[in-house]
Amino acid sequence: MSSWRSFPNRVMITVGIVAVSILMLYLFVVLSRVLLIVFAGILMAVGLGGGADILRRRTPLARPGALAVVITIVVLVPTLLSGLVGPSLTGQINDLIVQLPEAVARLRERLANLDWTQRLLADPNALRNLMPTPKEVMGGVTSAFSRTLGVVANVFVIVFIGIYGAAAPDSYVSGIVHLTPKRHRERAHEVLNALSHALRWWLVGRLTMMSVVGGLTTLGLWVAGVPTPLALGLLAALLSFVPYVGPILSFIPAVLVALMVSLTKVFYVMLVFGIVQMLESYVITPLVQQRAVSMPPVILITAQIAMGVLAGATGILLAAPLAIVVIVLLQMLYVEDVLGDSVHVLGQ
């Protein structure tokens, strides 16, 4: 143990970690699209595998049977929900796509006709030029859907990796472990198990938050009489997968839709989103974080900015789980193994 923690060994290990980190960063930049798809598949495998493990502990099912039940539930629940609200939701989504450009056009007209804006800008058309036209908004929406379809086109690869990874995780873990020296293989197992545990509980927390935020937003907008509450609630639920950034992005379409009705509806939208965010921050999040993985806001926002620069929207989407991986690796391989300090590993 003393030789392991000697100064030369520490220096060599530190240099090795830095070199590997630089190499991984270079490979990530070059192969970011492929690596993010693979990582999304691994994240799916962790989630499906976690559900299968819970069934195995509580039922006599073997892993293949337990995994089949989990996959059936994952497919069946959205199917049943879509059968209940599908027609209404589809109609509201179509209405939302049509209404957003109209809302932007009305906002531009209202701002351009205000006295203070005309005094601020000698040419009222200058203000109009500062805001996107309905055609530009529709182009942006179309572009967003195109990018979404591009991600959906990779769903088969992600599902393939997720299902096969969840069906036989031990074989993949053993393959990774055998890449390390024999004396470190036990520690490699510990690190991989810690990564799986942290990612699994992060997924549980995020899915819980998405469900609660989507349900509360839909209910609040429906009570307030805001058009297309189901579509806006679904958008809020999906975007809440990305902490901090998602709620802001989901708030903008809701305000634009409400603006088409009246300023009173805009106030109601602000009230609904404000209440939902307060409940999320002060009630729901503390309850979820009792078991789920949480990170300091500064670290998470920094990770989102860095991943956004490196890999765009997909990078922002996966910034949180990637940050969890980096933090756990640093905690276990550097703080514990190199520095010899004890630390509360994320997710433990």
- Full 3-state SS string of 213-276: HHHHHHHHHHHHCCCCHHHHHHHHHHHCCCCCHHHHHHHHHHHHHHHCCCHHHHHHHHHHHHHH
CA-wise closest residue to 304 among 158, 21, 295, 281: 295
Q: Does pLDDT of 190 surpass 50?
A: yes
State the average pLDDT over residues 70-75: 85
Q: Tokens in use for 7?
A: 């100064």
Name the pLDDT band for 5 (thresholds 50, 70, 90).
low
State the average pLDDT over residues 114-139: 51
Burial class of residue 42 in the structure, from the number of CB atoms within 10 Å of its CB (0-12 exposed, 13-18 middle, 19+ buried): buried
| Predicted pLDDT at 137 | 47
Amino acid found at 241: F
Rounded distance between C-alpha atoms, residue 237 and residue 216, angstroms: 9
Name the pLDDT band for 271 (thresholds 50, 70, 90).
very high
Name the pLDDT band for 82 (thresholds 50, 70, 90).
low
**b/e per residue, 240-276, with b = 16+ CB within 10 A?**
bbbbebbbeebbebbbbbbbbeeeebbebbeebbeeb
Percentage, residues of the chain above pLDDT 70: 74
Dihedral angle computed from the Cα positions of residues 45, 51, 57 and 60, in that order, rounded to the nearest 10 degrees: -90
DSSP state of 280: I
